[in-house]
Amino acid sequence: MTGGRPLLAIVVSHPIQYQAHLWRALAQDGRVSPHVLFLSRHGLEPRFDPAYGLKLAWDVDLLSGYDSEFLPNLREQAAPGGLVATLNPTIFGALRRLRPDAVLFVGLRNLTSLAGFAFARRQGIPSLYWSDSSVLQAHSGLARHAAAWVLARVDGVLSIGTANDLYYAAMGVGEERRFWAPHSVDNAFIRKLACGRAQARAELGLDEREFVLLYVGALKPAKDPLLAVEAIAGAAHRRVRLLVAGDGVLRDDLQRLARARRVQLTLLNFVNQTRLPRVYAAADALVLPSLAEPWGMVLNEAMNVSLPLLVSSRVGAHLDLVRRGENGEVFRAGAAAELARMIERLSGDEALRSAWGAQSRRIVDRFDASVTVQGIVEALHATSATRQAHACASC
């Protein structure tokens, strides 16, 4: 307890641009006292990011507004991800010192987190688990067995969306251990930094008369950005421009294909967080054609700028954020002809785009940090109460 509030230790690989606002909101909410244990400083200073193929650091405040500390990492220069990406022997001492009422593990994919999880279990500290695993993803036998082992032992899981919740249910996690804490972005931050369409287009040198289809993210095979080029090439209405904010291994392939298919392409390369809302504002719609995407935070971002969504069936968030025919459409992953027909319809109907965009903004209002915070608070109180009841029963 801290000042009468339960203390929640949060173990996370490194400061992440999509999580900082959430830890801040959790601290401001006042019902829980969060203390974040970072296992790496990745993201705070320019380091090589394999997804984008370049050195980058986020240009937003990742640390203020909540308590945190960085545990000494024996592999500080390693990129996040992988079993031995972080090695932090002081995790045990940190948890002993904090004496938290519960520990939230944001993923259990490295040795430090797994060691911390084992320690919490031995000490009788309730453990919460947050991952982006989706029922839409294929899981190998080994990964499935490892997940089953973890899920049988955690006290509660945070469901980031419907696809994630269905995954937990399929893995045998009962409803009493699943808590709705949907993925959210900093809605207010995005809306504050966005600008009008005309101004955004002028800044990027884009024609007001074009239909601009925006792709945001890494240019890598799993996200299938080349499909957007093929779809535009196959659309009957050809006054369409593909605006790309991203970089990665498919950069050259994307440019070559656009030239070969005579598709108008504007490639902005990597765009950081403070500039990104103005890029969204320049677009008419967002496309996310991923072959594998547990959620898709760019959908949340685009919806805050009132954009319609054209989304692959393999994007986990489509079950929650896309209402077909109301704020967007869902096409089968890899189906360029389906996406082409959607582009034709949307590019030729300004009233439809406006209606879908307005609905996007209304929907994302319900995916705010306050909703995520509520789920975390409920999970903490419920799991702590369950542990106490079991302890009393065994007395």
pTM for this prediction: 0.93
Q: What is the pLDDT of residues 190-235, one digit of tens each?
A: 999 999 999 999 999 999 999 999 999 999 999 999 999 999 999 9
Q: Which residues pair with 9 in a beta bridge?
A: 35, 103
CB neighbourhood size of 172 (10 A): 10
Query: Is a pLDDT exceeding 80 seen at residue 125?
Result: yes
Q: Which of 37-46, 181-190, 342-351 has the lowest mean pLDDT?
A: 37-46
Q: Are 78 and 85 in contact (CB under 8 A)?
A: yes
| CATH number for the domain running over 187-364 | 3.40.50.2000
Question: How do the domains of the chain map onto residue ranges?
Answer: 7-184+368-393, 187-364
Burial of 67 (0-12, 13-18, 19+ CB in 10 A): middle
Residue with structure tokens 């884009």?
A: 206
Instruction: Return the ∠ at Cα 243 (arms to 46 and 294), rounded to 5°.
Output: 65
In tens, the pLDDT along 272-314 reads: 999 999 999 999 999 999 999 999 999 999 999 999 999 999 9
| 352-393 residue pLDDT tens | 999 999 999 999 999 999 999 999 999 999 998 765 655 555
Q: Is pLDDT above 90 for 81? A: no
Of residues 389 and 5, more confidently modeled: 5
Per-residue pLDDT tens digits for 131-176: 999 999 877 778 788 899 999 999 999 999 999 999 999 999 999 9
pLDDT digits (tens, 9 = 90+) for 10-38: 999 999 999 999 999 999 999 999 999 99
Q: Which CATH superfamily is domain 7-184+368-393 in?
A: Glycogen Phosphorylase B; (3.40.50.2000)
Q: Is the fold of 7-184+368-393 the same as that of 187-364?
A: yes
The per-residue pLDDT for range 84-108, each reduced to its tens digit, is: 889 999 999 999 999 999 999 999 9
